[in-house]
Structure 1
Amino acid sequence: MENYSQTILKMVNITKRFPGVLALDKVSFELLKGEVHVLLGENGAGKSTLIKIISGAYKKDEGEIFIDGHKTEILGPNHAQKLGISTVYQEFNLVPYLSVAENIFLGRNPMKGSMFPVIDKKSMHSQAHELLNYLGIDINPKTQIWKLGVAEKQMVEIAKIFSMKSKICIFDEPTATLTSEEKGRLFTLIKKFKSEGIGIIFISHRLEEVFEIGDRITVMRNGQYITTKNKKDISKQELIELMIGKKIKEEVREKREISGEEMLRVENLCGDKFRDINLIVRKGEVVGLAGLVGAGRTEVLRAIFGADRCSKGKVYLNGNPLNVRTPQEAVCQKIALLPEDRKKHGLIMCLSVGENIIISSYDFVSKFGVLNKGKILKIIKTYIQKLSIKTPSVKQLVMNLSGGNQQKVIIARWLSANSDLILLDEPTRGIDVGAKQEVHQLIFNMAANGKTILVASSEIPELLKICDRIYVMHEGCISAEFINENLSSDQILHAAFGRDRESA
């Protein structure tokens, strides 16, 4: 028999079927004690299905699972927890109006009294305080959860898992909404888990994180196992090619001649979350807005789009004063916004792909109030083909598409409406590497065709890849402006933390 002494989890030939879909096809996976094992793959590769089988949310159809060398059937989420398996999802499993300590020990509260046992709150708070101190988490155990920020809630979730003495911990996109400083604290905790011998499965679309925190990397594609590599034995480019199944050209931002023609000028713009914003974007230029979470990037874009009110300042479009009070007025001025939360603000999830693409273009496809259905279908099909939107039909509900294809649908909407100024807020958040490269290429193409692009992103490497110039925001103000020539991440980070106020 094989020696599993250092292997906490071993999965052999795991198969999972849904009606009409083979989600996992004989997938094998192994997790060692004290390692961070990164699970990589495009959306639809099977990562989520695999971790749901490990965490007990799904039952496998075929294959074998071994935990600590013993063949095991994971019967459900509660059984998975008893086996020492815990998961930190993006949606936290915390009770808002209970305290930090009460959430950590929920269902396992220390009790006192033998005849009429009650929760021993003093002991609970003492144990929680000791645990948080050990993990280096600076949170008062008596604080109610609803008063905490996203990163602090995540720390409480992690403390809860540690208190349960989990041996396997799954992190599903844990850094999606964290600042770089918060991410650093999370990675410190993960290293603490490693030192305790806990095996960690880490899922992320951000390859920089994979190489920063991972030990081994398993790649999945189309529901199949592709390979497992030590991180030192593989490059970022090789990983991308393994994920998408083909060789790709590495993204290179070509130096372009930008016309001197100003499309957008913002002067001394002030709002609730920003003040004295001054910026210029020229026709055919891609300009970035960098900054930490809460710096005001999103609010600036929303103000230009007419979604948020401004208290003072002026905006000019093509040299003319722009006075838009609503998004509808902005659309009439050929301004488009791809919002940060595409599902809440960008798409109508219960409508089809075609309906979402054409919804801002009805003025162009109707005459005397009568829609030209032939013209509508032609436009929809043109942009599905142009943007390589993967959908079985124009009638497919947009909620059923992957994140990358949903982003493309919003871009198709604004291109079909012939928008000239395109505002992009976190354009690649939550989408896989292959889709991210496709969105970057779309941005390059739009700029080459004379569109003006202002893009806000928390991913500095992304801005360095796609932007001609970058403005950096700190606490609601622009702290620096850079031309993207030999520009480094460090320069942008310094300005984002308010340590720089210069142009370069």
Structure 2
Amino acid sequence: MSAPILDVAHVGKSFPGVRALADVSLQVAPGEVVALVGENGAGKSTLLKILSGDYRLDEGTVRIGGAEVSHASPLEARRAGFRLVRQEPEIVPDIAAAENVFVGEYPRRSLGRVDHGAMRDAMAAQLRRYGFKGLVDPEQPGRSLSPAQTHIVEIVAALKPGVKVVAFDEPTSSLTSDEVERLFQLIRQLKAEGLSIIYVSHRLKEVLAISDRVVVLKDGRVTGNLMTARTNEDEIVRYMVGRELVHDFKREETTRPEVVLEVCHLSSRWHRDLGFSIRAGEILGFGGLVGAGRTELAKVIFGEYPRSGGTIRLLGRERDIRSPSDAIAADIGFAPENRKAEGLILVRSVIENASMAVYRRLSRWGVLSDRRMVEKVAPVIRALDVKTPSMEQEVGKLSGGNQQKVVLSRWLAAGPRLLILDEPTRAVDVGAKAEIYRLIDRLAKEGMAIMLISSEMPELLALSDRIVVMNGGRLSPVIEKKDATEELVVSYALGKGMAA
């Protein structure tokens, strides 16, 4: 085996009250793809932030191409050859795609002027080289980029000259199957060019399809270093969680007669003449392809997007919901798909984020009571086993799974009658996913009506009491649990059997 390009040796990192990494060693050779897996909170994000220069390690060493970069700044880490493709790319909205690629490293002309032409040409050349020609216009403003285009911009930025190691952090969480295959083709190309690649994902089928080795982290320690060709999902999961997991989550029906939500003839920019109902204790699943209109429907019901017609009734009473505050007043909760951009204020604390739906209840004469906030919300956070050094920790510093638990704790504290969950286990590890399934089941048993949007077929089939499928802003006939199959859901998602 060739000498490693990336050599991480005995790295440790602690935060107040938390040992994030302990004696972690990892090597990646030229042309090797190493998958890094583990439950949320296992230390994957901390390790990536050390490699990218965002965090300083407490002990151990990091070498890239033989040069020690143990205490590199973000700029020094980039110049040493480490590049990170983030799960949620940080795009500057008011500048062009090419400027986003070169932000902080703009090419200059004489007299120090930025050379915009050189930036455009360099980005266009990278797009051609890596199979993205025609998918992004270098002059396209950042704010108009689709999720897939933002990932392309992030990838092109990572692959600028000098790259030696590329780390992909949950790169497929918002991609279609075709976009995933295009990404895999790129990774194979980079591997053939001799780059070292770290692939972080909770999707074990992808891990087994693209990696050469799998390194498993648990509680900040390496518990497994497995050759991909000689392992399988079950073995990886055992190293991740230290126990066997039940693959097929099963729940008893808890539906009650009371109708909580009734939508009649709802129309909007994305929908026409939709009707459905959800009863107390029922989980109504919404299937469909990306872009079918499911997220938009959730936001119409929650008052974030306007509706052009139809009625929404909660517990038999018609509600004129024009804003999220109207929805919360009507006892509706919403956990959005993009938790970082829409569900959390990353620079605020865990307890502040978890309290947002009940601020009015916790205030007296317009002043928020910290004591009442702790009394009311802290027990909910503890019940969900949110891994945080303190309630005052910035929520942006938590792992993805723990951030999702904070979003859910907000609505547990509020106790809505209807809870809308949009992709509740997106980018969540298998252990945290099982916890979230149990939580959703518990809420249904307690009588909460749940609108579940999920693109994961096993999840949709396991959790839902009934399923409707959206295609082009229309809904399929209701599928009862006993009749629900993957083939039927996919058929409706493709528009087969849908009313014209």
Q: What displacement does 1:279 show?
A: 2.0
Using structure 1 for the length normalisation, give the TM-score: 0.81
Q: What displacement does 1:417 show?
A: 3.9
Q: What displacement does 1:261 show?
A: 4.8
Which residue of the partner structure matches residue 360 of structure 1? 358
CA deviation profile, 1:12-31 (whole Å, cap 9, x unmatched): 21233456654322111121
CA deviation profile, 1:98-130 (whole Å, cap 9, x unmatched): 65566667758598x9x9999694x87666545
Residues 34, 197 of structure 1: 8 Å contact kept:
yes
Q: What displacement does 1:243 show?
A: 2.3
Question: How far apart, in 2, do the equivalents of 1:491 and 1:78 lie?
Answer: 51
1:40 counterpart = 2:37? yes
Which among 281, 302, 309 is matched to residue 278 of structure 2? Answer: 281
Residues 290, 492 of structure 1: 8 Å contact kept:
yes
Q: What displacement does 1:424 show?
A: 1.4
Question: How far apart, in 1, do the equivalents of 2:308 and 2:394 lie?
Answer: 39
Which residue of the partner structure matches residue 426 of structure 1? 423
User: Superposition pairs for residues 308-323 of structure 1, below 5 Å?
Assistant: 308-323=305-320
1:303 counterpart = 2:305? no
Bigger Rg, which one: 1
Residues 361, 417 of structure 1: 8 Å contact kept:
no
Q: What displacement does 1:425 show?
A: 2.0
Residues 261, 282 of structure 1: 8 Å contact kept:
yes
Which among 126, 140, 145 is matched to residue 144 of structure 1? Answer: 140
User: Superposition pairs for residues 73-472 of structure 1, below 5 Å?
Assistant: 73=69, 75-92=72-89, 107=105, 121=117, 128-139=123-134, 142-146=138-142, 147-164=144-161, 166-256=163-253, 258-259=255-256, 261-342=258-339, 345-346=342-343, 350=348, 353=351, 356-357=354-355, 360=358, 379-380=376-377, 383-384=380-381, 386-390=383-387, 402-472=399-469
Residues 69, 80 of structure 2: 8 Å contact kept:
no
Letter in 2 for 1:132: L
Using structure 2 for the length normalisation, give the TM-score: 0.82
Q: What displacement does 1:218 show?
A: 0.8
Question: How far apart, in 1, do the equivalents of 2:319 and 2:192 lie?
Answer: 57
Residues 17, 389 of structure 2: 8 Å contact kept:
no
Q: 1:180 to 1:478 in 2, by over 3 A?
A: farther
Residues 260, 315 of structure 2: 8 Å contact kept:
yes
Q: Which moved more, 1:28-37 or 1:54-63?
A: 54-63
Question: How far apart, in 2, do the equivalents of 1:53 and 1:378 lie?
Answer: 36
Q: What displacement does 1:39 show?
A: 0.9
Residues 128, 141 of structure 1: 8 Å contact kept:
no
Q: What displacement does 1:142 show?
A: 4.7
Letter in 1 for 2:213: R
Letter in 2 for 1:143: E
Q: 1:321 to 1:247 in 2, by over 3 A?
A: same
Q: What displacement does 1:443 show?
A: 0.6
Q: What displacement does 1:494 show?
A: 4.8
Residues 358, 376 of structure 1: 8 Å contact kept:
no
Residues 94, 145 of structure 1: 8 Å contact kept:
no
Residues 251, 463 of structure 2: 8 Å contact kept:
no
CA deviation profile, 1:243-267 (whole Å, cap 9, x unmatched): 2344444442235364555432222
Q: 1:60 to 1:179 in 2, by over 3 A?
A: same
Question: How far apart, in 2, do the equivalents of 1:26 and 1:371 lie?
Answer: 43
Letter in 2 for 1:73: V
Q: What displacement does 1:175 show?
A: 2.2
Question: How far apart, in 2, do the equivalents of 1:376 and 1:66 lie?
Answer: 46
CA deviation profile, 1:18-72 (whole Å, cap 9, x unmatched): 566543221111213323211112333222232233334444443344445x353
Residues 81, 164 of structure 2: 8 Å contact kept:
yes
Question: How far apart, in 1, do the equivalents of 2:31 and 2:178 lie?
Answer: 24
Q: What displacement does 1:276 show?
A: 2.2
Aligned length: 494
Which among 3, 6, 10 is matched to residue 9 of structure 1? Answer: 6
Q: 1:78 to 1:492 in 2, by over 3 A?
A: same
Letter in 2 for 1:285: E
Question: How far apart, in 1, do the equivalents of 2:484 and 2:194 lie?
Answer: 40
Q: What displacement does 1:201 show?
A: 0.4
Question: How far apart, in 2, do the equivalents of 1:55 and 1:374 lie?
Answer: 39
1:72 counterpart = 2:32? no
Residues 86, 154 of structure 2: 8 Å contact kept:
no
Q: 1:227 to 1:419 in 2, by over 3 A?
A: same
Q: 1:382 to 1:491 in 2, by over 3 A?
A: same
Q: 1:453 to 1:118 in 2, by over 3 A?
A: closer
Which residue of the partner structure matches residue 29 of structure 1? 26
Q: Which moved more, 1:254-263 or 1:183-192?
A: 254-263
Q: 1:480 to 1:200 in 2, by over 3 A?
A: farther
SS in 1 for 2:424: coil
Which residue of the partner structure matches residue 496 of structure 2? 500
User: Superposition pairs for residues 56-67 of structure 1, below 5 Å?
Assistant: 56-67=53-64
Q: 1:375 to 1:275 in 2, by over 3 A?
A: same
Q: Which moved more, 1:340-349 or 1:415-424?
A: 340-349
Question: How far apart, in 2, do the equivalents of 1:400 and 1:102 lie?
Answer: 27
Residues 85, 166 of structure 1: 8 Å contact kept:
yes
CA deviation profile, 1:260-310 (whole Å, cap 9, x unmatched): 554322222112232222223233221122334433222212222333321
User: Superposition pairs for residues 468-483 of structure 1, below 5 Å?
Assistant: 468-479=465-476, 481-483=478-480
CA deviation profile, 1:327-377 (whole Å, cap 9, x unmatched): 4443344332223344555456636628834853866x8999999999986
CA deviation profile, 1:138-181 (whole Å, cap 9, x unmatched): 32655334243231232233234444252321112222333333
Q: 1:487 to 1:368 in 2, by over 3 A?
A: same
SS in 1 for 2:358: coil
Q: Which moved more, 1:25-34 or 1:487-496?
A: 487-496
